[in-house]
Amino acid sequence: MVGDSHALSLLELFDGVAREQGRGGVFAGASGCPPLLEVHALRDDQQERNCHALNQRIFALIQSRQIRQVFLVARWTYYTDGDYSGREFSYLGLTPEASKSRALSREAFARGLEKTVARYAAAGVAVTLVTQAPLQAYEPKPIYQQAFRGGELNTLLLQRLSVAEARHRQFQSYVSGQLAAQSGRSTLLAMDEVFCDGSRCQVGDAGGSYYFDDDHLSLYGAERLRDKLRLLLVPVASPRR
């Protein structure tokens, strides 16, 4: 699995499912670094933590170890849209000197995604693109504080305070289109059908929050993807006798 901090949220789940199926794996990535080849993160820390160089090293590692399946995980909208208000934006560029703009960042994202999937596919690596969990409008802690009025969880209020599915889908529409455009050469692990019900994308339930902040899944939330991952992480075939 390769990705930014959103991949870390899924690491324990991936490890558990891989062990179930007799698989091994490698995690690589860094917070704020999308798992995209041939693009540059226009961050101030790139002399110390160069995302472009990191992704090239990861690709070389996957080739040298003859890894045949890779999952790419990220908060994709962080690099194309920011948050619901347009802030929290981490710009990408096709060169390290590129200007920071939404349009150029989107162009770099689209080209980087296409190049990444193409290069992995050409190397014989099966690519699964993991969609981004719905961004919540509020942090889970204050949502649960309001929903626990009177010492009992008000599940209707919990639902109303969760982000509207229409808002979420509109916000992620650009990224969703770009990921879908790669369907011919990759597989998609989609989260919407797990967390959204046609009206709201739930922040959690009576058992706990699916998130540990407004965008990263908690271990409890990640667990909801177990069945999907089991279908995508193919067990190693037993040797013939």
> What are the respective helix, strand and coil percentages of the chain, to the nearest 5?
45, 15, 45
Spatial CB neighbours of 19, under 8 Å, sequence gap ≥ 6: none
pLDDT band at 240 (very low <50, low <70, confident <90, very high): very low
Half-sphere exposure of 115 (CA within 13 A, CB side): 15
Whether pLDDT at 210 is above 60: yes
Contacts (Cβ under 8 Å, ≥6 apart) of 164:
199, 200, 201
Quick count: other Cβ atoms within 10 Å of Cβ 38?
15
* Residue 168 one-letter amino acid: H
Cα-to-chain-centroid distance, residue 76: 6
pLDDT of 235 > 70? The answer is no
Task: Examine the pLDDT at 237 and tell me if it is beyond 60.
Answer: no
- pLDDT on residue 239: 39
**Residue showing tokens 């999907």:** 228
Give residue 234's pLDDT band: very low, low, confident or very high (50, 70, 90). Answer: low
Q: C-alpha distances in angstroms, 227 versus 9, 122, 188?
A: 17, 29, 14
Is residue 46 over pLDDT 50? Answer: yes
Structure confidence by residue, pLDDT tens digits, 179-208: 999 999 999 999 999 999 999 999 999 999
User: Is the alpha carbon torsion for 9, 33, 138, 134 positive or negative?
Assistant: negative
The backbone region for 186, taken as left when phi is positive above 0, alpha when psi lies in -120 to 50, beta otherwise, is: beta
CB 186 within 8 A of CB 117: yes
Average pLDDT over residues 77-84: 97
Domain ranges of the chain: 2-134+173-195+218-232
Q: Environment class of residue 231 by beta-carbon count within 10 Å: exposed (0-12), middle (13-18) or buried (19+)?
A: exposed
Q: What is the pLDDT of residue 79?
A: 98
Q: So what's the pLDDT on residue 233?
A: 83
Dist CA 68 CA 54 (whole Å): 19
